[in-house]
Chains A and B, each alone.
Chain A
Amino acid sequence: MSDLQVEAQSAQAAGPESRTVAADAWYQLRRNWVFWVSVVLIVGISAIVLFPGLFASEEATTSLTGGCQLEDSLEAPGDKFLLGADQQGCDVYSLSIYSARTSVSVGLLTAIGTTLIGSLLGLLAGFYGGKSDSVLSGVTSIFLGLPFVLGAVVLLSSVDLPDIWGVVFALTLLSWATAFRLVRAKTIEAKGQDYTLAARALGAKDLRIMFRHILPNAIGPSIVVAVISLGIFIGAEATLSYLGLGIQPPNTSWGVMISEAQNAFFTAPWVLMVPAGFLTVTVLAFILLGETVSDALDPKLRK
């Protein structure tokens, strides 16, 4: 970026009327084309997740309604199947559309779960300090030290957990520590701020101080991390499903589809490429959104 632009940007940032952090961030975001691309993609993906019937026919994904005829096995993309058929003769496009819900749900539930658990514990540890902080921080260090994929594989293969919730549980358990650290640090910082001291001086109880004064100021970064990791969790679900430990058939997700496509990769690459494409675009959209929001929220990172 040229110096001129940098100057222009900082001139805007220090505009005449003073803005809140959020308003400032929004001002930054709406000028960023990457942000709009990711928003459009996420809106599209959300539409697919919420209303798959608008995009594809569910009938083509099950043999109960005439789909999945073995005679169509590995049929190439064309008139009959827009993006080809898989080994079972199911329409790859329709199946990918109907798989989106599982994949995105796992990502969303895990992101919410990690943010809730991590933020709550971080808030408590940061606010009260002392022994509970030492213990929780110690536990966090252990969880941060666990290799993510290995941990999930061990967990899922040793504990018999049901399908979607099992994956969500495993991913949440291994990922809450990041949110914990962020919120804890922010809480400690906010605890010493004047507004907190003022609230305390006015006789506010611990709970009120934590949730009314500290949390709103401390949660921002962990929400940004949640958006970025939402994409990463969707990818992690695909990894685990690919290894046969995640979503179990007859439920289907992009990871399951990719896993099942391996056999015929050389003769029928579309069976693998289509769900892999959906997966990549979705993960990318969430990561880009998270990063642009993160940049916008943190003036220090602004170039």
Chain B
Amino acid sequence: MRNRRRSFVVGAVGLAAGLLLTACSSSSDSSSGSDDSAAATGGSFSMAIEKPQALTPTNCYDLYCAQVNRTLFEGLIEFQKSSEGALEPVKTDLAKDITTADDGKTWKIEINPGFSFTNGEAVTAQTFVDTWNYAAYGDNGQQLGFVMGPDQLNIVGYDQVASNKSKKMSGLNVESDSVLTVELEKPMGQSLFYNFLGGPQVLPLPSTAIKDPKAYEKQPIGNGPYKLEAPWTNQGMTVVRNDDFAGEAGNADEIEFKIYADNNALWADLQANELDVASTLPQNALVQAESVLGDRFINDEGGLQYAYYGYPVNDPTFKEKDVRVGLAKAINWDEINDKIYFNTRTTATSFAPDTIPGGGKDVCGDSCVFDGAKAKELIDGAGGVPGGAVLIPQLANETGDVQKAICNQIQTNTGVKCTPQIYKDFGELVGAVTGDKATKGLIYGLGWIADNPTIQNMITANFSSTSPYNDLGYDNPEFDRLLQEGNAATDTATQIEKWQQAEKVIYDDFRAWATQFRNNIGGYSTRVSNVDISPDGIVDLSVVQVNS
């Protein structure tokens, strides 16, 4: 999972793998389709994706699989934008009620009757219990079974099942056809529990998926608004509307997912109107995308991904806080965003964008405000950067534009020598800060893609002292305490407040700071309307209309 759940989004416009939630962007607030009286339903359109690693939900951890599964499946929770614009987990048509009677230790999930898989099998309480047990069972080798376990849902009996000692988690019980109960090891607040139920990994599987996983993977059978009528291939797949779907039906009759290995080909097809929807664009299209596509260019702020820079704790180069703050203040992110990213990113002042409940605040304050003169003053006041030089990491497959620009600004404003340091891959970069021979003077940089829209998810992996992903070696008991208090809080407001306080601790130490949020970039053809990319990067295809 290590490589999947975070990406090096500092420089790369690279494609994010690892988004674990599927969202419903409900009311699309961009392209309004009110004035076109074109046929609201019917027709077919195409969307570009990259080849998913797998389509079976319990193995689905890339964005493209999540995108396809949004049309094939109906889960218990989906994400909708609240009135403040933040993504919040809400029940789907399938879920009637999800409640707890004992402050989050035991949960009762009641589902609406009438939903069935496209092979006729009904979706019942038993379906979910079977699916989750199947996912957790070690020998089944389902990549996302860990979601049932520690630090995630943490269902009672997970360890027994994961270690193949039992086939059933004792915490999962079927009360009736429509009711199941879930017992957790530790109490969990409603918001967090709902968030965990929003991912594709907990979608229901028909019994045939458990009996013959290989055949199922070729042509998954779901319970959603669309269905797959033929096995999917390396070229893509076509889904057609499921007329028996009990929830809200999709608009188009047919959606074709085209697999592109090369984003430049995608961009060419989009310009030629041969591709209808794209939720990514190649780097070299950014400079001209707006002038070519006009209103059909999507550039939405609030993507659930941040890039950050940090100072490895063990590196004496960054012992002085004034040096750390000074280097940060020497970089003009607004200008980098304008000239290098062509305004497809948003300068960050916290680790959570405003699409996350409690996010979008200015937690960083003055330290994140660009001021070249002050930067030099701080660094000189602290006796300069030991060694007089810093390095900015760059992965071999990146263009290096950003790293160059950052270095140029550090050099211009502070006189500290700065060079991009190229690493072959992600593993080599992590090794450069965590190994015994850690590189001195390296300003570590990585990105994070949210698994779910909570502040907790944005800060835990990179900064919790117990996290295996904490490469900086950040260790502040105060931070850990606040984070844990937030996780345990059952009241959503208290929870968010604790997490915000924990976030503030990172900025007060200034060991790391979020630099930018990645906007969701895409575009669509003249053939379709009502296309919107949700903050998690997924397009709600059910609402897309094909113009007549």
Q: Find the B residue at minimum CB distance from A87.
A: B401
* A73 interfacial by beta-carbon distance below 8 Å: yes
Contact call A244/B396, Cβ cutoff below 8 A: yes
Report B-chain residues with C-beta under 8 Å of the C-beta of A74. 339
A68 to B411, CA, bound (A): 10
A63 to B407, CA, bound (A): 8
State how many angstroms separate the Cβ of B286 from the closest Cβ of chain A. 8
Report A-chain residues with C-beta under 8 Å of the C-beta of B409. 63, 70
Interface flags for A37-75 (1: CB within 8 Å of B; 0: not) read 000000000000000000000000011101011110110
* B434 interfacial by beta-carbon distance below 8 Å: no
* A138 interfacial by beta-carbon distance below 8 Å: no
* B15 interfacial by beta-carbon distance below 8 Å: no
Contact call A263/B407, Cβ cutoff below 8 A: no
* B440 interfacial by beta-carbon distance below 8 Å: no
Counted as pairs of residues, one from A and one from B, with CB atoms less than 8 Å apart, the total is 62
* A249 interfacial by beta-carbon distance below 8 Å: yes
Main secondary structure on A side of the interface with B: loop
Report B-chain residues with C-beta under 8 Å of the C-beta of A260. 399-401
* B405 interfacial by beta-carbon distance below 8 Å: yes
Q: Among residues 74 to 97 in chain A, which have CB atoms less than 8 Å away from a CB atom of chain B?
A: 74, 87-89
Interface flags for B402-435 (1: CB within 8 Å of A; 0: not) read 0011011101100101011010000000000000
Report B-chain residues with C-beta under 8 Å of the C-beta of A266. 287-288
Report A-chain residues with C-beta under 8 Å of the C-beta of B400. 249, 260
Tally of A interface residues using CB under 8 Å: 24
Q: Among residues 179 to 212 in chain A, which have CB atoms less than 8 Å away from a CB atom of chain B?
A: none
* A264 interfacial by beta-carbon distance below 8 Å: yes
State how many angstroms separate the Cβ of A96 from the closest Cβ of chain B. 17
* B249 interfacial by beta-carbon distance below 8 Å: no
A144 to B233, CA, bound (A): 40
Instruction: Select which of A88, A262, A267 is within 8 A of B408 by beta carbon.
Output: A88
Contact call B401/A70, Cβ cutoff below 8 A: no
Contact call B336/A70, Cβ cutoff below 8 A: yes
* A250 interfacial by beta-carbon distance below 8 Å: yes
Q: Among residues 358 to 399 in chain B, which have CB atoms less than 8 Å away from a CB atom of chain A?
A: 396, 399
A44 to B449, CA, bound (A): 52
Contact call B335/A88, Cβ cutoff below 8 A: no
* B284 interfacial by beta-carbon distance below 8 Å: yes
* A248 interfacial by beta-carbon distance below 8 Å: yes
Report B-chain residues with C-beta under 8 Å of the C-beta of A267. 287-288
Report B-chain residues with C-beta under 8 Å of the C-beta of A89. 339, 408
Report B-chain residues with C-beta under 8 Å of the C-beta of A63. 407-409, 411-412
A64 to B332, CA, bound (A): 16
A244 to B283, CA, bound (A): 16
Report A-chain residues with C-beta under 8 Å of the C-beta of B412. 63-64, 66, 68-69
Contact call A263/B399, Cβ cutoff below 8 A: yes
A90 to B422, CA, bound (A): 21
Report A-chain residues with C-beta under 8 Å of the C-beta of B401. 87-88, 260, 263
A248-B422 contact, Cβ under 8 Å, with A260-B401, A263-B287: yes
Q: Among residues 311 to 346 in chain B, which have CB atoms less than 8 Å away from a CB atom of chain A?
A: 332, 335-336, 339-340
State how many angstroms separate the Cβ of A91 from the closest Cβ of chain B. 13
A70 to B370, CA, bound (A): 14
Contact call A64/B417, Cβ cutoff below 8 A: yes
Instruction: Select which of A64, A71, A249, A265 is within 8 A of B420 by beta carbon.
Output: A249
A87-B396 contact, Cβ under 8 Å, with A64-B415, A70-B409, A266-B287: no
A62 to B419, CA, bound (A): 11
A71 to B420, CA, bound (A): 20
Instruction: Select which of A66, A87, A249 is within 8 A of B339 by beta carbon.
Output: A87
Interface flags for A244-276 (1: CB within 8 Å of B; 0: not) read 100011100000000010111111000000000
Contact call B284/A64, Cβ cutoff below 8 A: no
A63 to B399, CA, bound (A): 19
Contact call A262/B284, Cβ cutoff below 8 A: yes
Contact call B287/A70, Cβ cutoff below 8 A: no
Report A-chain residues with C-beta under 8 Å of the C-beta of B396. 244
State how many angstroms separate the Cβ of B402 from the closest Cβ of chain A. 10
A62 to B412, CA, bound (A): 9
A71-B335 contact, Cβ under 8 Å, with A249-B420, A266-B287, A267-B287: yes
Which one of A250, A262, A265 has the greatest number of beta carbons of chain B within 10 Å? A250
A248 to B340, CA, bound (A): 20
Report A-chain residues with C-beta under 8 Å of the C-beta of B404. 88, 249
State how many angstroms separate the Cβ of A145 from the closest Cβ of chain B. 29
Hey, which bits of chain A sit against chain B, CB under 8 A?
A: 62-64, 66, 68-71, 73-74, 87-89, 244, 248-250, 260, 262-267
A-B contact pairs, 26 of them (CB 8 A): A63-B411, A63-B412, A64-B417, A66-B412, A68-B412, A69-B412, A70-B332, A70-B339, A70-B340, A73-B339, A74-B339, A87-B340, A244-B396, A248-B422, A249-B400, A249-B404, A249-B420, A250-B419, A260-B401, A262-B284, A263-B284, A263-B399, A263-B401, A264-B284, A264-B287, A267-B287
12 new A-B contacts at CB < 8 Å, known A64-B412, A69-B412, A263-B284: A63-B407, A63-B408, A63-B409, A64-B417, A69-B408, A73-B339, A87-B339, A88-B401, A249-B400, A249-B404, A260-B399, A265-B284
